[in-house]
Amino acid sequence: MILDFVDARTNNLVWRDSMADPVSNPANIGSEFAKSAKQILDEFPVEKK
């Protein structure tokens, strides 16, 4: 899984992260996808104001 965040005004890539865990059970692909996405987004570099 690769998540790209692209600036809508400039179309420039501003952040990318990925994960390459195999799916252990195809019947659970939705929940495994959600879990992987959460793990990636937990690392998202949010700037504190």
> Do the domain assignments include residue 49?
no
> Do the domain assignments include residue 12?
yes
Q: Write down the pTM of the prediction.
A: 0.61
Our count of domains for the chain comes to: 1
> Do the domain assignments include residue 26?
yes
Domain span including residue 9:
2-41
> Do the domain assignments include residue 31?
yes
Record the tokens describing residue 33, joined without a space.
Answer: 């996808």
> Do the domain assignments include residue 46?
no
> Do the domain assignments include residue 35?
yes
pLDDT band at 18 (very low <50, low <70, confident <90, very high): confident
> Do the domain assignments include residue 48?
no
- Listed residue (10, 7, 9, 32) closest to 21, CA to CA: 32
Q: What is the mean pLDDT of the chain?
A: 86
> Do the domain assignments include residue 23?
yes
| Helices and strands of the chain, counted as H and E runs | 1, 2
| Interval 19-38: pLDDT, tens | 887 878 888 888 888 888 88
Contact 35, 25 (CB under 8 A): no
